[in-house]
A and B are shown apart, each in its own frame.
Chain A
Amino acid sequence: MTTEPPTDDNSLACKVLTFFLGNEEYGVDVLNVQEIISMVKITKVPKTPQFVKGVINLRGLVIPVVDLRLKFGMDSMGYDKKTCIMVVEVKRNEGDEEKLTSMGLVIDKISEVLSLESADIDPPPEFGTSIRTEFITGVAKRDDGIKILLDIHTVLSDEEMNHLQDVIPA
């Protein structure tokens, strides 16, 4: 899978919503974030990959919820008061049309919205991160640490959602 460059490829700023998964801080382009809701009861759906926790009701729309920690192979943590669900809009292909679909991500803690210039963003490192490079669009260096910028369309693409299905033991 090819890495998609950050949406603004020149010195225009882009805004990124950052959040914590465990001790690592990640960021997602704010244009892709629809809303953030507090944790609700998730209905489990059988025969789905482990990182798909199930589905929830979002104002009449049923959307799948993915636990990013499990997706990235980290250990699962219990859900506490700070855990919330970030609803993102993911591009997917239906036939020859590109459609947007809403999905939820379980994240441990919301951080903030950052304005970044392309000067602040480094290309993804070849190694050293715990997640696959095709998910990362870049790394932002700030005084308070490094934020790993995610390409949400790749992380939650159809192929990824189906990926582990065959591997689950019957």
Chain B
Amino acid sequence: MGNDPIHKVLDQLAEETLLIEADDLPTLGKIHGLFEELQKLAIDASLPYADQVSSTIGRITDVMLADSQNPEEDLNQTRLELKAWQKGLPSDDISSAPPKEEPSNTEDDPFLDNLRESTLKMETLAMSLEKDGGAEEIEELLRLIHSLKGESGVLGLDQLNELCHELETILQDGSVENPTDRLLSFLDWVKATQLSQGESQPFDSVMEIIHNGPSEETSDQQSMVDDYPSTPGKLSQDPSFYTDFSTESLEHIEAAEEILLESGEGDLGSDDINTIFRAFHTIKGVSSFLDLPDIQVLTHRAENVFEKMRSKKLSMSGEIQDLCFKVLDKVKGLIATLKESVSQGQLPPTDSEVPQFVKALDNVLNQKKGEEPSVSAPDIPAKAEGSGHKKVKEASSVKVATQRLDQVINLVGELVTSNAMISEEIQQHSSKTLMANVNHMKKNVNELQALAMSLRMVPIKNTFLKMSRIVRDLSKKMGKQIEFTMAGEDTELDRNMVDKLGDPLVHMVRNSADHGVESPEERQEAGKDPIGHVQLSAFHKGGNIVIQIKDDGKGIDRDVIFAKAVEKGLANPNQEMSDSEVFQMIFSAGFSTAKVVTDVSGRGVGMDVVRKNIENLRGRIEIESKKGEGTTFSIHLPLTLAIIDGMVIRVADQRYIVPTVAIHQTFSAQDQGQYSIQEKGKVLKFRDHLVPILDFEEIFGDPDCKGEGNILMVLGAGDKNVAILLDEIVTQQEVVIKSLHETMKNIKGLSGSAILPDGTVGLILDPVEISALLKESP
């Protein structure tokens, strides 16, 4: 219908009006002209908003002639109209009230759902951009930001629109070497204002950060301007500072030298680059404070070289390595001179050689990647495209309301049950074809069930990615260097579990970063790599899924924990406890051995909540730790919250289900000798222990529940055992767990209910609660 010229005009108008000021006459004139063009086109194409364009033109004229009562409002109105027209809607659809920045927060809002997904994607991309990112990440980011810009424009989210626009510009012209911090600030703002996650900085600060980078960066750029004083001056600080500086700087230089020596001529790993960068950075910082321009200028240039290497704009070469050694030697020399001067109470004189070094470093900095200053070094290939970049083709997907999903799963469960009932009946009537057909149906139904169960499974990847961000932020905040790795992130979990795992994982990761991993200095003193490692991994093991948080920090000191436990009255000083038992004490409420409570952790309210959350998921958590070497937390969870393998038993006329994992052994009540201990009820001798026996009347306090007591079943409950008296073992069955009504959830001894194969409900017993009853009985 010839709409393309119209859209061109609309786009132009949108751009022009975006940031226009009411007194910008030339641009207003331009806009006026564009609107007239638009009017002609719209009338020709009989578009619904054609008449409204004329009133807009009138409005613009008013603003130009300063006849408008509220020019800002008019311009705003115009922008809104443009947005509607871009969508092809008449502008009547827009209310004249100023647009709200936050759309209503309904659960089904597709914009918000998309936004959640894209912010997570952008965060991941931003962070990998920092590590070893390149063109692919930038392209993807641009795509996402561009879409977001468009959407926010249509929805009237002006601030978001502007921020996107700025980011797009910056990413496109590649002027910023390391945009990650700016991207993350932007994403934090988006999460806070649109998704109600966290606190937001004011719009202006975020815009400022996007333009100029986080404040640290800005001050660095300014310090590029250096002055050389030509005569030696008086010491500006206390001499001891200089001495300390000398000693520490020499240490840093040695560390850098060692790395360079070990790496040979090849490319340096990112950790190594970081170390050397830090070395120069630290020396530069202190030398600036101490008024040592030579050292400062030199280390600053060197720092820049390594910064470039960090962002993969420069690779190590033989030449550069030589230069580095020379620079390091020079700095050593400068420090030696410094020491002499300080002993005479003076600052060192200017070193005439320094400018040459600076020039050499500048040459390296100005080099394009892959270029070599001299011929002899072999060509370092440009970063191989696709190296380590897995571009997994994203499978297309459909959004489905969770409620609907749950309904499907419920009904499939019912289908399985009815199918089982039919199969049973069919056995009696032996028409071969009938049986064959029913069996065929059974296969289909079973397959459907497996599929339905898998609908609830989601990979744990997103949760792990969130942790990655937390580790990065924490390590920056605490001045530690922590590298975060993941393994098995594609492992799938029931979606309910993933939600509930979030908080405990965050807590434990923070602990590792805060209490576990030491500062780089401490680590170096201990002879460890100054960069700490935190690894999250997930894998299947024996019908369970295991999630591990592993750090190579200072480990848990068993003695400190034990002492604290004794202090809190949780343990007897003479008690003999295994290491793992001692470590489990950490989970007691109010327990914290942190000497300093940071705002990150140390208040002692976290770990007990963590354990409770995990127990609610029917899981358990184990701790392994070696002092000085590190700690590993292992969370064991059942594969799905929904199904357990159970033994159906009958007591009197009721049927219950006992989780098979809890069953140790079953005996006929007549055979086994039962020993009686007065007033405490009967006990059973089992594997050299005495195990208390409970019948169902005792468990539920109801005489109707009592059965004949033909069979004894020994159950394991934590580290204790308990035996129950029942009438009959019916069958072994995999059952789907259904939770009980709210008011029944607290019944001691029951952990839920399940639908039995014949369609009736069976109650699931909880061995841990049953054994807990023993403590209460008089």
Residues of chain A touching chain B, judged by Cβ–Cβ distance below 8 Å, are 40-41, 43-48, 54-57, 59-64, 92, 94, 101, 103, 158, 161-162, 170
Contacts and interface: CB of A to CB of B under 8 A. Distances in A.
Interface stretch (B114-122, B204-212, B588-596, B700-708): B700-708
17 contacts: A41-B760, A43-B655, A43-B753, A43-B762, A46-B699, A47-B747, A47-B748, A48-B744, A55-B740, A56-B760, A57-B761, A59-B414, A62-B740, A62-B753, A62-B761, A64-B743, A161-B743
A165 to B, nearest CB: 8
A63 B747 CA distance: 16
Contacts of A48: 743-744, 747
A126 to B, nearest CB: 30
A46 B702 contact: yes
B107 to A, nearest CB: 12
Interface in B651-691: 654-655
B417 to A, nearest CB: 9
Contacts of B736: 60
Nearest to A103: B741
Contact of A170 (B410, B701, B762): B701
Given A57-B761, A60-B755, A45 B744 contact: yes
B415 to A, nearest CB: 9
A40 B760 CA distance: 9
B640 to A, nearest CB: 16
A44 B656 CA distance: 11
Given A55-B753, A57-B759, A60-B413, A45 B702 contact: no
Contacts of A45: 740, 744, 747, 750, 763
Nearest to A168: B701
Query: What 6 A-B pairs have minimum CB-CB distances, sorted nearest first?
Result: A60-B410, A46-B700, A161-B743, A43-B761, A62-B738, A64-B741
Contacts of B738: 60-62
A158 B763 contact: no
Nearest to B742: A158
A46 B701 CA distance: 8
A23 to B, nearest CB: 30
A161 B743 CA distance: 7
B560 interface: no
A158 B705 CA distance: 25
Nearest to A102: B741
Nearest to B760: A41
A64 B742 CA distance: 10
A158 B760 CA distance: 25
A57 B755 contact: yes
B727 to A, nearest CB: 15
A43 B759 contact: no
A103 B740 CA distance: 11
Given A47-B701, A60-B410, 14 more contacts: A44-B654, A46-B701, A46-B749, A47-B748, A59-B410, A60-B736, A61-B738, A62-B740, A62-B741, A62-B761, A92-B742, A158-B742, A158-B743, A170-B701
Given A43-B753, A46-B701, A61-B738, A56 B761 contact: yes
B411 interface: yes
A63 B741 CA distance: 7
B741 A60 contact: no
A47 B763 contact: no
A8 B739 CA distance: 34
B interface, how many residues as a size bin?
20 to 34
B579 to A, nearest CB: 40
Contacts of A55: 740-741, 744, 753, 761
A40 B759 CA distance: 10
B701 A62 contact: no
A63 B411 CA distance: 15
A94 B739 CA distance: 15
Contacts of B700: 46-47
Contacts of A59: 410-411, 414
Contact of A64 (B744, B755, B759): B744
A56 B413 CA distance: 15
Contact of A43 (B411, B413, B654, B704): B654
Contact of B411 (A54, A60, A101): A60
Contacts of A170: 701
Contacts of B413: 60
A63 B760 CA distance: 12
A94 B742 CA distance: 10
Nearest to B652: A44
A158 B749 CA distance: 21
Contacts of A92: 742
Interface centre among B414, B736, B742, B762 (most CB of A within 10 A): B742
B481 to A, nearest CB: 41
Nearest to A161: B743
Interface string B737-778: 011111110011110010100011111000000000000000
Contacts of B704: 44
A41 B742 CA distance: 21
A163 to B, nearest CB: 10
A54 B741 CA distance: 10
A46 to B, nearest CB: 3
A101 B744 CA distance: 14
A56 B753 CA distance: 10
A122 B296 CA distance: 92
B351 to A, nearest CB: 69
Nearest to A44: B654
Interface string B392-431: 0000000000000000001101100000000000000000
Contacts of B742: 92, 94, 101, 158
Contacts of B760: 40-41, 43, 56-57
A28 B704 CA distance: 34
A41 B704 CA distance: 17
Nearest to B413: A60
Nearest to B700: A46
Contacts of A47: 700-702, 747-748
Contacts of B655: 43
B743 A162 contact: yes
Contacts of B410: 59-61
